[in-house]
Amino acid sequence: MPQLILIPNSLHEDHYECIPEYVKHYVKNINVFIYENPKPFRRLLVKLGLRDKINDSVSIQWNKHSDDPEWWKHLENFKNDNIGVISDAGSPGIADPGAKVVLWAQENDFIIRPMSGPNSIMLGLMGSGLNGQSFSFIGYLPIKENEKIKMIKKLESDSKQNNQTKIFIETPYRNDTLFKLLLDQLSKNTKLCIASNLTSKNERIYTKRIEQWKSTEYIIGKVPSIFLILA
């Protein structure tokens, strides 16, 4: 039976030591790859010592903003091949458009093989000290400020009621804007963790109550970050 291999990618372009060695064993036997963007895909293959596969394999770009029927029709040509799915960063299918490809493979009787590797959601939760028994990942909060405030209030209320950690992300250039909004809107005893640059030499994971955060002058900067709260 054909296999769909879910291949983890680095969270940081300078740090590939977090990719397990056994991933290379599977990747070198794949000749059809589905990827998000060319640069992270090619960089991973180079770092794994498989540069030749960039040109010697079938490469299909996944456009996460499109559900073009022609794209899926083209994929039908590879129903008998082993296919590798590579995310731009982290684990395919987690906060990632690759989940739709996995569902397609499930429906077409592929053997699904997820490879372990870095995942910012799990790493942030592990390092936060917040509740790891019950948690939910929200993804991005609404863009409009009034809607974002409503969501923040709802997440805090749900967290308090269910003792559940709430996890969300933001576009890096909006990190500090979101941080300020969280300080303004969350209750003083709610715990907030900010985990940035995970797996890199500049990794930072800090958890404080809101009233403690307010006494700092912390700046996140435009770096990949995960936000976690527990009320």
- Based on the domain organization, do 107 and 160 belong to the same domain? no
> How does DSSP classify residue 209?
E
Residue 208: domain span? 120-230
Domain boundary among 114, 144, 175: 114
Q: Report the pLDDT value the prediction gives residue 66, as an integer from 0 to 100.
A: 64
Please state, for a pLDDT cut of 90, what percent of the chain lies above it. Answer: 72
Give the pLDDT mean for 218-226: 96
Tokens 């930072």: give the residue.
204
Does the model's pTM come out above 0.85?
yes
Q: Which range is least confidently modeled, 11-20, 98-107, 150-159, 167-176?
A: 11-20
**CATH number of the domain within which 138 lies:** 3.30.950.10
pLDDT for 39 beyond 90? yes
pLDDT for 65 beyond 60? no
Domain boundary among 114, 149, 178: 114
pLDDT for 67 beyond 80? no
Give the torsion sign (CA, 184, 185, 189, 193).
negative
Give the pLDDT mean for 47-72: 83
Taking only the tens place, the pLDDT of each residue in 104-145 is 999 999 999 999 989 999 999 999 999 999 999 999 999 999
Q: Are 187 and 231 in contact (CB under 8 A)?
A: yes
Among residues 229, 192, 188, 9, the alpha carbon closest in space to that of 116 is found at 9
Separation between Cα atoms, residue 129 and residue 207, nearest integer Å: 8
> How does DSSP classify residue 7?
E
- Based on the domain organization, do 128 and 77 belong to the same domain? no
For every residue of 106-168, DSSP letters joined together read HHTTPEEEEPP---HHHHHHHHH-S-SSSEEEEEEPPSSHHHHHHHHHHHHHHHHHHT-EEEE
- Based on the domain organization, do 71 and 90 belong to the same domain? yes
Q: What is the mean pLDDT of the chain?
A: 93
Q: Report the pLDDT value the prediction gives residue 120, as an integer from 0 to 100.
A: 94
Q: Are 9 and 115 in contact (CB under 8 A)?
A: no
- Based on the domain organization, do 96 and 185 belong to the same domain? no
Taking only the tens place, the pLDDT of each residue in 164-204 is 999 999 999 999 999 999 999 999 999 999 999 999 999 99
pLDDT for 103 beyond 70? yes
Confidence of residue 56 (pLDDT cuts 50, 70, 90): confident
How far, CA to CA in Å, does 47 sit from each of 54, 58, 213? Answer: 12, 19, 39
pLDDT for 28 beyond 90? no
- Based on the domain organization, do 48 and 150 belong to the same domain? no
- Based on the domain organization, do 105 and 139 belong to the same domain? no
